[in-house]
Amino acid sequence: MKKNELSFKEKAKMAQEDCLCFCDEEISREAVFQVPIEVPEGFVVDSAEAVGTVTWNPDNLSCVSEPCLTWTGPAPEDISMNYAVRLQGTVTLLVSVSPVRNQYGQGNGAISVIHTEAIDQIVYYSAQSDDCPDFSHITIEDILVVPPFYGSPLTVTGTIIFAPKPQPRTYVFTANSNDRTVSVIDAALNAVVKTISFSDVPTGLGVTRDKAYTYVLHGNTNFVSVIDNETLTVTHTITLGGAPRKIQFESTGGSAYILASGSIYMINIASQSIINVIPVPGGEDFALDPNGQFAYTTNPVSWSIDKYDLNTGRLTDRMIDTFEYPSMIETPFAGDFAYVLNGELFPKSVTEINLSTFSGGSDFNRFFEILNAIVFSPDSTRAYFLEPYFDPFLTDNLTVVDTARQRMIANVSLPGAVDLTVTPDNDYIYAAQLYDNTVMVYRTSDYTAVTVIPVGAGPSAIAM
β-bridge mates for residue 266, sequence order = 257, 276
What pLDDT does 392 receive? 61
Q: Is 166 within a domain? A: no
Residue 116 shares a structural domain with residue 182: no
Per-residue DSSP letter, 188: T
Q: Which ranges constitute the DSSP H helices of 132-231?
A: none
Residue 282 shares a structural domain with residue 153: no
Residue 75 shares a structural domain with residue 200: no
Residue 113 shares a structural domain with residue 195: no
Q: Is 2 within a domain? A: no
β-bridge mates for residue 375, sequence order = 384
Residue 233 shares a structural domain with residue 185: yes
Per-residue pLDDT reduced to its tens digit, 309-367 = 999 999 999 999 889 999 999 999 999 999 999 998 889 999 999 999 999 989 999 99
Q: What is the CATH number of the domain that holds 292?
A: 2.130.10.10
The Cα–Cα gap between 259 and 330 comes to 14
Residue 141 shares a structural domain with residue 246: no
Q: Is 397 within a domain? A: yes
In the sheet that 373-376 helps form, which strands lie side by side, from edge to edge?
373-376, 382-386, 398-402, 407-412
Q: Is 144 within a domain? A: yes
| Of the residues 108, 137, 161, the one at which a domain ends | 161
Residue 145 shares a structural domain with residue 192: no
Residue 109 shares a structural domain with residue 177: no
pLDDT band for position 420 (cuts 50, 70, 90): very high
| Of the residues 119, 135, 161, the one at which a domain ends | 161
Per-residue pLDDT reduced to its tens digit, 207-254 = 999 999 999 999 999 999 999 998 899 999 999 999 999 999 998 889
- Which residues fall within 8 angstroms of residue 327, CB to CB, at 6 or more apart? 284, 285, 298, 300, 341, 342, 348
| Of the residues 107, 126, 161, the one at which a domain ends | 161
CB 229 within 8 A of CB 213: yes
Residue 231 shares a structural domain with residue 143: no
Q: Is 313 within a domain? A: yes
Q: Is 314 within a domain? A: yes
Residue 157 shares a structural domain with residue 195: no
- Which residues fall within 8 angstroms of residue 458, CB to CB, at 6 or more apart? 176, 177, 178, 179, 434, 435, 437
Domain that holds residue 94: 8-161
Cβ neighbours of 13 (radius 10 Å): 13
| Total number of domains in the chain | 2
